[in-house]
Amino acid sequence: MTETPVPSLTIRSKDRGPLLDALRNGVVPYRGAHLIQVGRGRELEALHTSIKQIKNGAGAVRFVIGDYGAGKTFFLHLVRSIAHKEDLVTVHADLTPDRRLQGSQGRARRLYSTLMANMATRGKPGGRALTTVVEKFVTQVRRDAEANGTTVEHQLSERLWGLREFPGGPSFAKVIEAYWRSHVHQDEELRAHALRWLSAEYAKKTEASRDLGVSEIIDDRSLFDHLKLMAAFTTMAGYRGLLVCFDELVNLYKLSHKGSRHANYEQILNIINDTQQGRAEYIGFLFGGTPEFLEDPLRGLYSYEALRSRLEENPYATGGLVDFHGPVMRLSHFTKEHFYELLRKVRHVYASGDPAKHPLPDEAIEAFMRHCEERVGDAYFRTPRSTIKQFIGLMDVLVQNENADWRTLLTQMEVVKETNPDLQPLDPKDDVENDSPLASFRL
């Protein structure tokens, strides 16, 4: 392999520990991901341009398409990190049979609740930042009132007035006012009610009316409207916009009922139309999915003609040529060279950035890759999650056992080819044919 020096990034212990723990468990790290970033430079630069577009008050929609194991989830995490550096708020969620863009029985509401639970900012990248955003807004209103010589209540009403033009805006404004009252009177119960409403955790309007005096809740029909509302609110709080990330859209593709699939695809169409036509400001959407989810003419997005016309790719971007300006961005698989660089970076992080403490020499990394290839072929670098787990485990044993030899350990290591969960059909109970409450009615 061609030797390239590992970049001398600062490796902080608060990044190193969570990063290595995530890799050991085979999950995407929420801290330190930039330390092991390999390739994707042009793709990240293109999405950085979209983030700047959001900062300037426009809307943006991008589809990140890649096969299983291509690193979509890790890539989306890196994009969110860039958004945080640009002072955007981010929310993200995986779509599941029980969390959809459109659906009855609380499916869309649960998706919105998950988005709010995963709200993150630069100062709070791990999520649970909704309270932080609301507190920042309240603090800013109080400062403005002092600067203008007015009451906080007057300033609050004036700032929130602009939200009333949005569907659901009057109720949203009333809930924020309730949060302010809880702040003034140290009423923790009222504060909890306000945050519960903002997180779409009210399933019944009567409960919201009793607790907060509002006649509306965030329900299955208002997911997109309230995301636009939240984008406007984050800018009022001093942030530069909102980035919404949806992953695992293959779960929409796997729905067998055409009506359910198309209802969700229509919601995606609404998002594209509003962002491209200027009806959604300071907000961007990233959708992560597989090529089948996009291209399948029977069940994919291309089965919905209006989406196909909007998402068709540049016909000149073929034969190795790329176009990162369109709505669809394709992620290619890792190469062996990329994977070698990745392992060297993981080793460097493991040693806290000190080459003298590397648990393995470069020779061992090359031997490790050969061993993996003999066992599972090129799957070891195309779907590298389990391979990286094995690599971390190898270093763990070497560090904790002075007499251990990597050559001996390699002969004992078993590498199992990952199975693609996208190929598994939905459980029949999750793949309902009708979102109507009457779907289960029988004579």
The model's pLDDT over 31-45, given as tens digits with 9 standing for 90+, comes to 888 899 888 889 999
pLDDT in tens, 262-299: 999 999 999 999 999 999 999 999 999 999 999 999 99
The domain in which residue 307 lies consists of 40-332
**pTM of the predicted protein model:** 0.88
User: In this structure, are 76 and 136 located in the same domain?
Assistant: yes
Write out the two tokens for 400: 């904790």
Q: Which of 9-13, 138-142, 239-243 has the lowest mean pLDDT?
A: 9-13
pLDDT band for 302, please (50, 70, 90 cuts): very high
The per-residue pLDDT for 31 is: 85
Average pLDDT rounded to a whole number, residues 332-359:
91
Q: Is 207 exposed, middle or buried (0-12, 13-18, 19+ CB in 10 A)?
A: middle
Q: Are residues 129 and 272 in the same domain?
A: yes
Residue 437 lies in a domain: no
Q: How many Å is the Cα radius of gyration of the chain?
A: 24
Q: Nearest CA to 76 among 51, 98, 101?
A: 51
Instruction: Output the pLDDT for position 436.
Output: 47
Q: Cα–chain-centroid distance for residue 55?
A: 18
In 237-335, alpha helices (H):
250-253, 258-276, 291-295, 305-311
Residues 351 and 305 in one domain: no
Q: Give the pLDDT confidence score for residue 422 in this predicted structure.
A: 59
- Within-domain flag for 54: yes
The predicted structure's pLDDT at residue 163: 92
307 found inside a domain: yes
Q: How far apart are CA 433 and CA 104, in angstroms?
A: 12
141 plus 18 within the same structural domain: no
Domain co-membership, 32 together with 69: no
Report whether pLDDT(229) > 50: yes
Of all helices (H) and strands (E), which one includes residue 329?
strand 328-330
Nearest CA to 115 among 292, 286, 282? 286
- For position 352, what pLDDT does the model report? 94
CA separation for the pair 125, 118 (Å, rounded):
9
